[in-house]
Amino acid sequence: MNNSPMDSLELAQLLDGFALVRSRLIESITSPPGVSATSWSILTALADQSQSLTPSELAQLTALPRSTVTGVLHRLEEQGRCTRSTKDSDRRRHLIELTSSGRQQVELLRAKLELSRQQEFAVLTSDQIKDLSELIFAIEQSTARPEP
C-alpha cells in the first residue's frame, strides 16, 4: 500500500482484516476454556446486565439469530455457566442468568483480553486511540440498524 489516501474499498478491506485478526485473537484467548466467539458474546451480554434476560433479549443484544442463541444457551447450561428458569406468571418465558462459575470465567477472560488489548494498542498514542474510537463510533452510528 502506498502513502496516498485510501479509497473506501481499501479502508473496508483494512477494517475487515483487522476484525478477522481481532476475532482470531479473541478465539485464541477464549478457546482453551472452550468458549466460542458466539458463546463469548452471550456470556458478556449476560455479565453486563443487572437482571436475568430472555433468549430473545440476548438475541437482540448480541445481534445473533434467536435459534443460535438457544443452541449456545443449551451448551452453556450443560457446562454450568448459566441457568435457565421460567417466570412464574408465564411458564413459556425463560429467564437466563450467569452462574458464579460463568461470571468467574468472564472475569478471567476479560482480564486476559485486556492485557492483549494493551499490547495491541501500545503502538498508539492516547490521542490516536481517542481519534480511532471516535471514528469507529461514527461509522457504527451511521450504519446502525434502526430499533424495531
pLDDT tens digits, residue range 6-44?
788 888 888 888 888 877 877 777 766 678 888 989 999
Between CA 58 and CA 11 the distance in angstroms is 31
Percent of residues in the chain assigned helix, strand, coil, to nearest 5: 65, 10, 25
pLDDT in tens, 38-66: 898 999 999 999 899 999 999 999 999 99
Q: How far is CA 43 from CA 20, 56, 141, in A?
A: 21, 15, 24
R_g over Cα of the chain:
18
Domain boundary assignment for the chain: 26-143
Q: What is the pLDDT of residue 125?
A: 92
DSSP strands (E only) in 1-148: 82-87, 90-98
* Top-tier CATH class for 26-143: mainly alpha
Output the pTM of the full model: 0.68
Residues with Cβ within 8 Å of 79's Cβ and at least 6 positions away in sequence, in order, are 34
Between CA 143 and CA 129 the distance in angstroms is 21
pLDDT in tens, 63-95: 999 999 999 999 999 999 999 998 777 777 889
Q: What is the pLDDT of residue 18?
A: 82
Q: What is the pLDDT of residue 20?
A: 84
Q: Residue 1 above 60 pLDDT?
A: no
